[in-house]
Amino acid sequence: MTEAGLAALRREDGKKIRTSVGRQWEEIFRGFYQPVHLLARLRRAEIRRPTLACWGYRAALTDEDAGFANASMPVHLLSDVPHFTEAVLSKGRMGDLRRCRREVEIRREQDPALLVDQGYAVFMSQQRRTDFYARPATEAAFKLRMADQVRDGRRVFVIGLVDGRVGGYLQSFAVDGVLYAHELYVASEAMRTGLGTGLYVETISIAARSGAIEEVCFGLHTPDAPGISAFKASIGMKVVHLPARCFIPAPLDAFIKRRRPAAHYRLTGRRPVDGALD
């Protein structure tokens, strides 16, 4: 997709999108905006308050304007995707991948029937395991969303079947040469199979075969969740700090830094002096 195409997709997902200086911005939580294409490098002149109803925003800068950075965007990034090989995986992840290939059928899915029928159980299993409940909270809402999304050719769904049933799935989408691994769900009972590794490797392989993808982004760096960060590192993801411009009013910046240091790091790329992100 183009940036405008991704903005249209995210509007369909119910996200609040604004256009400013020709660029598309998404509200990631109430009042704070970032480019809908997270890795887009913007010129300094393009980084403006996307809407008056906005208290903060941030965006990565072009190389030419990197000298104007007052922050960074810390992301998990896999580069040179066309030359991706499994040699980048750690020894442990290679073991998971071999186990997954023995016990799981991994495939790209474009027919929504299986995920409509079995996906909600996977979704709720992960929600209970992580103690985090995100919308849609009802099975009916989940099925309606899944029926629309799996048929949507702008999205890539890779699923894993364990004993013929859906054990997990990964949804991704791509824009301007970057593939975003967007949503990963693995049922607790399927964790033993190495399914998470298998889903990521197959998705990266699809990107490599496409010939159109140069980078894969696995989201923002989360040192406060060391297990997740270690997993991403073990499949070849590097933590990259993209030069960025960030605006947060000083009193609010100080409040977030004091009360939510991990969130402040994800917004600004700045670690606390003591290094603690709890």
- Please indicate, yes or no, whether residues 235 and 245 belong to a single structural domain of this protein: no
Quick one: which of 209, 210, 146, 203 has its CA closest to 180?
Answer: 203
Q: What b/e string do you get for 65-82 counting C-beta neighbours within 10 Å, with b at 16 or more?
A: beeebebbbbbbbbeebe
pLDDT given at position 274:
61
- Please indicate, yes or no, whether residues 250 and 219 belong to a single structural domain of this protein: no
- The per-residue pLDDT for range 55-98, each reduced to its tens digit, is 999 999 999 999 999 999 999 999 999 999 999 999 999 999 99
- Ramachandran quadrant class, 194 (left: phi over 0; alpha: psi -120 to 50; beta: rest): left
- The per-residue pLDDT for range 227-250, each reduced to its tens digit, is 999 999 999 999 999 999 999 999
pLDDT given at position 68:
96
- Please indicate, yes or no, whether residues 17 and 56 belong to a single structural domain of this protein: yes
- Please indicate, yes or no, whether residues 126 and 174 belong to a single structural domain of this protein: yes
Q: Is the peptide bond before 261 cis (omega within 30 degrees of 0)?
A: no
The domain total for the chain is: 2
> Looking at the domain assignment, is residue 123 inside a domain?
yes
Which residue range(s) make up the domain with 161?
81-239
- Please indicate, yes or no, whether residues 93 and 51 belong to a single structural domain of this protein: no
- Please indicate, yes or no, whether residues 48 and 60 belong to a single structural domain of this protein: yes
- Please indicate, yes or no, whether residues 234 and 249 belong to a single structural domain of this protein: no
pLDDT given at position 277:
67
Mean pLDDT of 129-148: 81
Give CA–CA dist 94/234, Å, rounded. 9
Q: Which residue has the tokens 């509007």?
A: 11
- Please indicate, yes or no, whether residues 249 and 125 belong to a single structural domain of this protein: no
Name the token pair of 156.
Answer: 């890539």
| Residue 275 burial by Cβ neighbours in a 10 Å radius (0-12, 13-18, 19+) | exposed
Residue 221, domain CATH: 3.40.630.30
- Please indicate, yes or no, whether residues 124 and 221 belong to a single structural domain of this protein: yes
pLDDT given at position 259:
93
- Please indicate, yes or no, whether residues 104 and 216 belong to a single structural domain of this protein: yes
pLDDT given at position 70:
96
Give CA–CA dist 255/88, Å, rounded. 40
Residues 6+ apart with CB under 8 A from 195: 100, 104, 160, 162, 167, 168, 186
Question: Over the chain, what is the mean pLDDT?
Answer: 93
Residue 106's H or E segment, with its range, is strand 104-108
**278 has a pLDDT exceeding 90:** no
- Please indicate, yes or no, whether residues 139 and 217 belong to a single structural domain of this protein: yes
- Please indicate, yes or no, whether residues 149 and 262 belong to a single structural domain of this protein: no
pLDDT given at position 135:
58
**133 has a pLDDT exceeding 60:** no
